[in-house]
Amino acid sequence: MDRVEELTLVLTEFIRYSDWCVQNNGGNYDENQALKNTYIIGEKKRSDLSDIEIDGTKFGWNYNKIGNGKKIWTAGYVDDGNYNLVYNRYDETNRKLLFQIFNSEKHDSETIKEIKLGSRSPNSTEIRKLVTTYWEYKDAKKQIVNDSLVEVLTQKLRKSKNIILHGAPGTGKSYLANEVAANLIGIDSDELPYSDHFKFVQFHPSYDYTDFVEGLRPTKGSRDDVKFSLVDGTFKKFINEQARRNTPNFKNQFASFQQDLQLDETRFETQIRHSEFYISEIRPQDDLIILNIPQNKEPKARLKLSYLRHLYESPKTFSSVKEIKDDFLASRNRQKASAWEPSYYLVLLKELEKYQKQLDQRPYVFVIDEINRGEISKIFGELFYSIDPSYRGMRGAVKTQYQNLHDDDENFSSQKMSTF
Protein backbone atom coordinates (compact mmCIF):
# COMPACT_ATOMS: atom_id res chain seq x y z
CA MET A 1 0.00 0.00 0.00
CA ASP A 2 1.47 3.38 -0.98
CA ARG A 3 1.52 6.41 1.27
CA VAL A 4 -1.29 8.25 -0.55
CA GLU A 5 -3.58 5.23 -0.24
CA GLU A 6 -2.83 4.66 3.45
CA LEU A 7 -3.24 8.28 4.51
CA THR A 8 -6.45 8.43 2.47
CA LEU A 9 -7.76 5.49 4.51
CA VAL A 10 -6.83 7.23 7.77
CA LEU A 11 -8.51 10.50 6.81
CA THR A 12 -11.55 8.68 5.40
CA GLU A 13 -12.06 6.77 8.66
CA PHE A 14 -11.58 10.00 10.60
CA ILE A 15 -14.29 11.75 8.59
CA ARG A 16 -16.68 8.80 8.62
CA TYR A 17 -16.34 8.49 12.39
CA SER A 18 -16.99 12.19 12.77
CA ASP A 19 -20.21 11.73 10.80
CA TRP A 20 -21.21 8.72 12.94
CA CYS A 21 -20.71 10.62 16.23
CA VAL A 22 -22.73 13.59 15.04
CA GLN A 23 -25.54 11.43 13.69
CA ASN A 24 -25.66 8.75 16.40
CA ASN A 25 -24.16 10.14 19.59
CA GLY A 26 -25.23 13.76 19.81
CA GLY A 27 -21.86 15.00 18.61
CA ASN A 28 -19.96 13.28 21.40
CA TYR A 29 -17.00 11.00 20.87
CA ASP A 30 -17.71 7.35 21.77
CA GLU A 31 -14.62 5.47 22.96
CA ASN A 32 -16.29 2.04 22.95
CA GLN A 33 -17.46 2.54 19.36
CA ALA A 34 -13.95 3.74 18.43
CA LEU A 35 -12.52 0.32 19.30
CA LYS A 36 -14.14 -0.96 16.13
CA ASN A 37 -12.01 1.38 14.01
CA THR A 38 -8.68 0.58 12.37
CA TYR A 39 -6.87 3.90 12.96
CA ILE A 40 -9.03 6.24 15.08
CA ILE A 41 -9.03 4.04 18.17
CA GLY A 42 -9.46 4.82 21.88
CA GLU A 43 -9.58 8.15 23.58
CA LYS A 44 -8.80 11.52 22.02
CA LYS A 45 -5.08 11.59 21.13
CA ARG A 46 -2.38 14.12 20.53
CA SER A 47 0.03 13.88 17.58
CA ASP A 48 3.05 12.83 19.64
CA LEU A 49 1.09 9.97 21.25
CA SER A 50 -0.34 8.43 18.08
CA ASP A 51 0.56 4.98 16.73
CA ILE A 52 -0.22 5.97 13.13
CA GLU A 53 2.98 6.08 11.06
CA ILE A 54 3.15 6.37 7.25
CA ASP A 55 6.34 6.67 5.18
CA GLY A 56 8.35 7.58 8.29
CA THR A 57 5.86 10.29 9.36
CA LYS A 58 3.82 9.94 12.56
CA PHE A 59 0.26 11.20 12.53
CA GLY A 60 -2.11 12.10 15.33
CA TRP A 61 -5.74 13.15 15.33
CA ASN A 62 -7.69 15.59 17.43
CA TYR A 63 -10.91 17.57 17.74
CA ASN A 64 -11.77 20.87 19.32
CA LYS A 65 -13.51 20.76 22.68
CA ILE A 66 -16.45 23.01 23.33
CA GLY A 67 -19.58 22.82 25.45
CA ASN A 68 -18.12 22.53 28.95
CA GLY A 69 -15.38 20.16 27.85
CA LYS A 70 -17.59 17.77 25.93
CA LYS A 71 -15.89 16.27 22.88
CA ILE A 72 -18.10 18.02 20.36
CA TRP A 73 -17.16 17.25 16.74
CA THR A 74 -17.34 20.72 15.26
CA ALA A 75 -13.87 20.57 13.67
CA GLY A 76 -11.04 18.11 13.80
CA TYR A 77 -7.74 17.33 12.15
CA VAL A 78 -5.27 14.60 11.30
CA ASP A 79 -1.81 16.13 11.63
CA ASP A 80 1.94 15.43 11.70
CA GLY A 81 2.75 18.27 14.09
CA ASN A 82 3.21 20.85 11.34
CA TYR A 83 0.64 20.15 8.65
CA ASN A 84 -3.08 19.67 9.36
CA LEU A 85 -5.68 17.80 7.30
CA VAL A 86 -8.84 19.43 8.62
CA TYR A 87 -12.51 18.42 8.46
CA ASN A 88 -14.26 21.68 9.42
CA ARG A 89 -17.95 21.49 10.28
CA TYR A 90 -18.45 24.55 12.48
CA ASP A 91 -21.21 25.44 10.03
CA GLU A 92 -23.03 22.29 8.94
CA THR A 93 -24.29 24.05 5.83
CA ASN A 94 -20.78 25.13 4.84
CA ARG A 95 -18.44 22.24 5.60
CA LYS A 96 -14.83 22.34 4.38
CA LEU A 97 -11.93 19.99 3.85
CA LEU A 98 -8.63 21.84 4.40
CA PHE A 99 -4.89 21.36 4.17
CA GLN A 100 -3.26 23.84 6.55
CA ILE A 101 0.18 24.68 7.93
CA PHE A 102 0.12 25.31 11.66
CA ASN A 103 2.34 28.13 12.96
CA SER A 104 3.09 27.31 16.59
CA GLU A 105 4.64 30.73 17.26
CA LYS A 106 1.59 32.66 16.06
CA HIS A 107 -0.90 29.97 17.07
CA ASP A 108 -2.67 30.20 13.76
CA SER A 109 -2.85 28.29 10.48
CA GLU A 110 -2.23 29.06 6.82
CA THR A 111 -4.56 27.33 4.38
CA ILE A 112 -2.80 25.74 1.39
CA LYS A 113 -5.80 23.94 -0.13
CA GLU A 114 -9.54 24.20 0.56
CA ILE A 115 -12.34 21.97 -0.74
CA LYS A 116 -15.82 23.38 -0.13
CA LEU A 117 -18.42 20.73 0.64
CA GLY A 118 -21.63 22.58 1.47
CA SER A 119 -23.84 20.39 3.70
CA ARG A 120 -22.42 17.05 2.54
CA SER A 121 -19.48 14.89 3.55
CA PRO A 122 -16.45 14.66 1.24
CA ASN A 123 -16.27 11.81 -1.27
CA SER A 124 -13.26 9.53 -1.80
CA THR A 125 -11.96 11.57 -4.75
CA GLU A 126 -11.91 14.79 -2.70
CA ILE A 127 -10.21 13.10 0.24
CA ARG A 128 -7.54 11.59 -2.01
CA LYS A 129 -6.98 14.96 -3.70
CA LEU A 130 -6.28 16.61 -0.33
CA VAL A 131 -3.94 13.80 0.72
CA THR A 132 -2.07 13.99 -2.61
CA THR A 133 -1.61 17.75 -2.11
CA TYR A 134 -0.22 17.06 1.36
CA TRP A 135 2.49 14.68 0.12
CA GLU A 136 3.40 16.81 -2.90
CA TYR A 137 3.73 19.92 -0.74
CA LYS A 138 5.80 18.09 1.86
CA ASP A 139 8.10 16.61 -0.82
CA ALA A 140 8.59 20.04 -2.39
CA LYS A 141 9.49 21.58 0.96
CA LYS A 142 11.87 18.73 1.73
CA GLN A 143 13.56 19.15 -1.66
CA ILE A 144 14.04 22.88 -1.05
CA VAL A 145 15.63 22.13 2.32
CA ASN A 146 17.81 19.39 0.81
CA ASP A 147 18.91 21.57 -2.10
CA SER A 148 19.80 24.38 0.29
CA LEU A 149 21.71 22.02 2.60
CA VAL A 150 23.53 20.43 -0.34
CA GLU A 151 24.65 23.85 -1.55
CA VAL A 152 25.77 24.93 1.94
CA LEU A 153 27.82 21.74 2.40
CA THR A 154 29.25 22.05 -1.12
CA GLN A 155 30.59 25.52 -0.34
CA LYS A 156 32.00 24.33 2.99
CA LEU A 157 33.71 21.39 1.31
CA ARG A 158 35.32 23.67 -1.27
CA LYS A 159 36.94 25.58 1.59
CA SER A 160 37.73 22.91 4.18
CA LYS A 161 38.30 19.96 1.77
CA ASN A 162 37.11 17.50 4.45
CA ILE A 163 33.66 17.21 6.06
CA ILE A 164 32.23 14.63 8.46
CA LEU A 165 28.45 14.20 8.62
CA HIS A 166 27.13 12.76 11.86
CA GLY A 167 23.73 11.76 13.12
CA ALA A 168 21.50 8.83 14.01
CA PRO A 169 21.35 5.79 11.67
CA GLY A 170 18.89 6.12 8.81
CA THR A 171 18.84 9.93 8.72
CA GLY A 172 20.20 10.17 5.17
CA LYS A 173 23.89 10.94 5.71
CA SER A 174 25.10 8.67 2.90
CA TYR A 175 22.45 10.02 0.55
CA LEU A 176 23.39 13.60 1.41
CA ALA A 177 27.11 12.88 0.93
CA ASN A 178 26.43 11.56 -2.57
CA GLU A 179 24.26 14.57 -3.44
CA VAL A 180 27.02 16.94 -2.29
CA ALA A 181 29.61 14.96 -4.29
CA ALA A 182 27.49 15.15 -7.45
CA ASN A 183 26.91 18.87 -6.95
CA LEU A 184 30.62 19.49 -6.40
CA ILE A 185 31.66 17.52 -9.49
CA GLY A 186 28.86 19.02 -11.59
CA ILE A 187 26.98 15.86 -12.57
CA ASP A 188 23.67 14.20 -11.70
CA SER A 189 23.77 11.86 -8.71
CA ASP A 190 22.71 8.99 -11.00
CA GLU A 191 26.03 9.39 -12.87
CA LEU A 192 28.22 9.07 -9.75
CA PRO A 193 28.86 5.30 -10.01
CA TYR A 194 30.27 5.83 -13.52
CA SER A 195 32.34 8.94 -12.79
CA ASP A 196 36.13 8.82 -12.63
CA HIS A 197 35.94 11.78 -10.25
CA PHE A 198 34.14 9.87 -7.50
CA LYS A 199 34.94 6.98 -5.18
CA PHE A 200 32.84 5.50 -2.39
CA VAL A 201 34.24 3.19 0.28
CA GLN A 202 32.75 1.81 3.50
CA PHE A 203 34.83 1.30 6.64
CA HIS A 204 34.39 -1.69 8.95
CA PRO A 205 36.27 -2.99 12.03
CA SER A 206 38.70 -5.16 10.03
CA TYR A 207 39.53 -2.45 7.44
CA ASP A 208 43.17 -1.35 7.76
CA TYR A 209 46.11 0.54 6.22
CA THR A 210 46.79 -2.13 3.60
CA ASP A 211 43.21 -1.82 2.34
CA PHE A 212 43.23 1.97 2.31
CA VAL A 213 46.80 3.09 1.47
CA GLU A 214 49.04 0.22 0.36
CA GLY A 215 50.35 -3.11 1.52
CA LEU A 216 51.73 -6.49 0.65
CA ARG A 217 49.16 -8.78 -0.93
CA PRO A 218 49.44 -12.38 -2.14
CA THR A 219 49.50 -12.58 -5.95
CA LYS A 220 49.94 -15.39 -8.45
CA GLY A 221 53.39 -15.61 -10.03
CA SER A 222 54.31 -16.58 -13.59
CA ARG A 223 54.58 -20.26 -12.60
CA ASP A 224 51.31 -20.27 -10.68
CA ASP A 225 53.28 -19.88 -7.48
CA VAL A 226 52.14 -17.45 -4.78
CA LYS A 227 54.22 -14.41 -4.00
CA PHE A 228 53.68 -11.14 -2.14
CA SER A 229 53.48 -7.90 -4.12
CA LEU A 230 53.08 -4.27 -3.10
CA VAL A 231 49.54 -3.24 -4.04
CA ASP A 232 47.94 0.19 -3.78
CA GLY A 233 44.94 0.45 -1.48
CA THR A 234 41.61 2.02 -2.42
CA PHE A 235 42.54 5.60 -1.55
CA LYS A 236 46.06 5.65 -2.98
CA LYS A 237 44.91 3.93 -6.16
CA PHE A 238 42.18 6.54 -6.61
CA ILE A 239 44.62 9.42 -6.05
CA ASN A 240 47.28 8.03 -8.39
CA GLU A 241 44.72 7.37 -11.12
CA GLN A 242 43.58 10.98 -10.93
CA ALA A 243 47.18 12.22 -11.04
CA ARG A 244 47.80 10.19 -14.21
CA ARG A 245 44.47 11.19 -15.72
CA ASN A 246 45.17 14.89 -15.19
CA THR A 247 48.57 14.65 -16.87
CA PRO A 248 48.12 15.75 -20.51
CA ASN A 249 48.38 12.39 -22.23
CA PHE A 250 46.74 11.88 -25.58
CA LYS A 251 45.89 8.21 -25.16
CA ASN A 252 44.15 8.69 -21.81
CA GLN A 253 42.45 11.96 -22.70
CA PHE A 254 41.19 10.84 -26.07
CA ALA A 255 39.84 7.57 -24.66
CA SER A 256 37.83 9.48 -22.02
CA PHE A 257 36.88 12.12 -24.59
CA GLN A 258 35.54 9.50 -26.99
CA GLN A 259 33.69 7.67 -24.22
CA ASP A 260 31.86 10.85 -23.23
CA LEU A 261 31.03 11.73 -26.84
CA GLN A 262 29.61 8.29 -27.58
CA LEU A 263 26.98 8.74 -24.90
CA ASP A 264 25.05 11.29 -26.93
CA GLU A 265 26.83 11.48 -30.32
CA THR A 266 27.91 15.04 -29.66
CA ARG A 267 27.99 17.01 -32.91
CA PHE A 268 30.62 19.53 -33.93
CA GLU A 269 30.72 22.09 -36.71
CA THR A 270 33.68 22.90 -38.93
CA GLN A 271 34.74 26.35 -40.09
CA ILE A 272 34.74 25.27 -43.72
CA ARG A 273 31.28 24.70 -45.20
CA HIS A 274 29.94 24.69 -41.61
CA SER A 275 29.40 20.97 -41.93
CA GLU A 276 28.37 18.96 -38.88
CA PHE A 277 30.07 15.73 -37.85
CA TYR A 278 30.51 13.36 -34.96
CA ILE A 279 32.94 10.55 -34.13
CA SER A 280 31.32 7.25 -35.06
CA GLU A 281 34.23 4.85 -34.64
CA ILE A 282 37.86 4.62 -33.59
CA ARG A 283 40.22 1.95 -34.93
CA PRO A 284 43.53 2.20 -33.03
CA GLN A 285 44.85 -0.88 -34.81
CA ASP A 286 44.31 0.86 -38.17
CA ASP A 287 45.34 4.31 -36.89
CA LEU A 288 41.94 5.69 -37.91
CA ILE A 289 39.19 7.94 -36.59
CA ILE A 290 35.95 7.45 -38.53
CA LEU A 291 33.72 10.53 -38.69
CA ASN A 292 30.04 10.57 -39.59
CA ILE A 293 29.10 13.60 -41.73
CA PRO A 294 25.32 13.41 -42.30
CA GLN A 295 24.99 16.23 -44.86
CA ASN A 296 27.89 15.19 -47.12
CA LYS A 297 27.66 13.09 -50.25
CA GLU A 298 30.31 10.92 -48.67
CA PRO A 299 28.84 10.42 -45.18
CA LYS A 300 32.05 8.97 -43.76
CA ALA A 301 35.49 10.53 -43.34
CA ARG A 302 38.74 8.92 -42.20
CA LEU A 303 41.32 10.77 -40.11
CA LYS A 304 44.69 9.63 -38.86
CA LEU A 305 44.65 9.03 -35.11
CA SER A 306 48.42 9.45 -34.99
CA TYR A 307 48.25 12.85 -36.64
CA LEU A 308 45.70 14.14 -34.13
CA ARG A 309 48.01 12.90 -31.40
CA HIS A 310 50.87 14.78 -33.04
CA LEU A 311 48.82 18.00 -32.96
CA TYR A 312 47.82 17.48 -29.34
CA GLU A 313 51.33 16.76 -28.08
CA SER A 314 53.10 19.31 -30.26
CA PRO A 315 54.76 22.22 -28.39
CA LYS A 316 53.43 24.46 -31.13
CA THR A 317 49.96 26.01 -30.80
CA PHE A 318 47.75 25.48 -33.85
CA SER A 319 45.07 28.14 -34.12
CA SER A 320 43.97 28.10 -37.76
CA VAL A 321 43.06 25.72 -40.54
CA LYS A 322 45.97 27.06 -42.62
CA GLU A 323 48.52 26.24 -39.93
CA ILE A 324 47.21 22.70 -39.64
CA LYS A 325 47.00 22.33 -43.41
CA ASP A 326 50.63 23.38 -43.85
CA ASP A 327 51.73 21.06 -41.06
CA PHE A 328 49.53 18.29 -42.43
CA LEU A 329 51.00 18.56 -45.92
CA ALA A 330 54.52 18.62 -44.53
CA SER A 331 53.85 15.53 -42.45
CA ARG A 332 52.55 13.70 -45.55
CA ASN A 333 55.57 14.58 -47.66
CA ARG A 334 53.55 17.29 -49.37
CA GLN A 335 50.96 14.88 -50.70
CA LYS A 336 47.76 16.61 -51.70
CA ALA A 337 45.26 16.93 -48.86
CA SER A 338 41.52 17.39 -49.34
CA ALA A 339 40.10 20.76 -48.27
CA TRP A 340 38.12 19.44 -45.34
CA GLU A 341 40.76 17.40 -43.48
CA PRO A 342 42.58 20.27 -41.72
CA SER A 343 39.26 21.73 -40.58
CA TYR A 344 38.15 18.52 -38.89
CA TYR A 345 41.53 18.13 -37.24
CA LEU A 346 41.37 21.68 -35.91
CA VAL A 347 37.89 21.16 -34.43
CA LEU A 348 38.90 17.90 -32.74
CA LEU A 349 42.12 19.45 -31.42
CA LYS A 350 40.29 22.43 -29.89
CA GLU A 351 37.59 20.21 -28.39
CA LEU A 352 40.20 17.89 -26.93
CA GLU A 353 42.11 20.80 -25.39
CA LYS A 354 38.86 22.21 -23.99
CA TYR A 355 38.02 18.79 -22.56
CA GLN A 356 41.42 18.68 -20.86
CA LYS A 357 40.80 22.05 -19.22
CA GLN A 358 37.39 20.92 -18.00
CA LEU A 359 38.94 17.83 -16.42
CA ASP A 360 41.53 19.97 -14.69
CA GLN A 361 38.82 22.16 -13.15
CA ARG A 362 36.49 19.39 -11.93
CA PRO A 363 37.26 18.23 -8.39
CA TYR A 364 37.60 14.64 -7.24
CA VAL A 365 35.53 13.42 -4.30
CA PHE A 366 36.25 10.46 -2.05
CA VAL A 367 33.37 9.49 0.27
CA ILE A 368 33.91 7.31 3.31
CA ASP A 369 30.76 5.69 4.64
CA GLU A 370 30.53 4.38 8.24
CA ILE A 371 33.80 6.16 9.11
CA ASN A 372 33.12 5.65 12.83
CA ARG A 373 33.22 1.86 12.40
CA GLY A 374 36.88 1.86 11.39
CA GLU A 375 39.96 2.51 13.52
CA ILE A 376 41.07 5.79 11.95
CA SER A 377 44.71 5.81 13.06
CA LYS A 378 45.17 2.23 11.84
CA ILE A 379 43.57 2.93 8.47
CA PHE A 380 45.03 6.36 7.63
CA GLY A 381 48.45 5.96 9.22
CA GLU A 382 50.72 8.88 8.30
CA LEU A 383 48.16 10.17 5.76
CA PHE A 384 46.01 11.47 8.58
CA TYR A 385 48.53 14.30 8.82
CA SER A 386 48.60 14.98 5.08
CA ILE A 387 44.86 15.45 4.55
CA ASP A 388 44.78 18.38 6.97
CA PRO A 389 44.09 21.51 4.84
CA SER A 390 46.94 23.30 6.61
CA TYR A 391 49.44 20.78 5.24
CA ARG A 392 48.31 20.40 1.67
CA GLY A 393 50.94 20.34 -1.02
CA MET A 394 54.57 19.39 -0.53
CA ARG A 395 54.55 20.83 2.97
CA GLY A 396 52.60 17.79 4.11
CA ALA A 397 54.51 15.24 2.04
CA VAL A 398 55.12 11.91 3.75
CA LYS A 399 56.79 8.62 3.02
CA THR A 400 54.47 5.63 3.23
CA GLN A 401 55.24 2.65 5.44
CA TYR A 402 56.27 0.64 2.38
CA GLN A 403 58.32 3.42 0.72
CA ASN A 404 61.47 1.31 0.71
CA LEU A 405 59.79 -1.14 -1.69
CA HIS A 406 59.13 1.52 -4.33
CA ASP A 407 61.44 1.91 -7.30
CA ASP A 408 61.56 5.68 -6.84
CA ASP A 409 61.97 7.83 -3.76
CA GLU A 410 58.91 10.00 -4.43
CA ASN A 411 56.94 11.18 -1.43
CA PHE A 412 53.21 10.70 -1.27
CA SER A 413 51.72 14.13 -0.67
CA SER A 414 48.44 15.95 -0.74
CA GLN A 415 49.76 17.82 -3.76
CA LYS A 416 48.38 14.83 -5.63
CA MET A 417 45.12 15.53 -3.82
CA SER A 418 44.95 19.18 -4.77
CA THR A 419 41.63 18.72 -6.52
CA PHE A 420 40.24 16.36 -3.90
Which distant-in-sequence residues (6+ apart) come within 8 Å of 360 by Cβ?
246, 419
pLDDT digits (tens, 9 = 90+) for 304-341: 888 888 888 888 888 888 898 888 877 765 455 565 68
Against a cut of 0.85, is the pTM above it? Answer: no
Environment class of 206 (CB within 10 Å of its CB; exposed 0-12, middle 13-18, buried 19+):
exposed
pLDDT, tens digit, 9 for 90 and up, residues 119-169:
999 999 999 999 999 999 888 887 777 788 888 898 888 888 888 998 877
Res. 368: pLDDT tops 50: yes
Which pLDDT does position 418 carry in this prediction? 39
What's CA 96's distance to the chain center, in Å?
A: 41
Per-residue CA distances from 374 to 176, 207, 404 (Å): 20, 6, 27
What pLDDT was estimated at residue 6? 94
Higher-pLDDT residue of 267, 4: 4
Q: What share of the chain is helix, strand, coil (3-state, %, to 5)?
A: 45, 20, 35
In the Cβ-directed half-sphere of 71, how many Cα atoms lie within 13 Å?
Answer: 13
pLDDT tens digits for 67-88?
555 566 778 889 888 889 999 9
Q: Find, among 208, 183, 205, 204, the residue nearest to 195 by Cα.
A: 183
Query: How far apart are the C-alpha atoms of 140 and 28, rounded to whole Å?
Result: 38
For the chain, give the percent of residues with pLDDT over 70.
82
The band of 247, judged by pLDDT with boundaries at 50, 70 and 90, is low
- Does the pLDDT at position 420 exceed 60? no
Q: What is the predicted pLDDT for the residue at 129?
A: 94
Say if residue 415's pLDDT is above 60.
no
Q: Which pLDDT belongs to residue 222?
A: 75
pLDDT at 87: 93
Of residues 97, 101, 92, the one with CA closest to residue 114: 97
Q: What is the mean pLDDT of the chain?
A: 82
Determine whether 6 is exposed, middle or buried from the number of CB atoms within 10 Å of its CB (0-12, 13-18, 19+): middle
Q: What's the pLDDT score for residue 416? A: 47
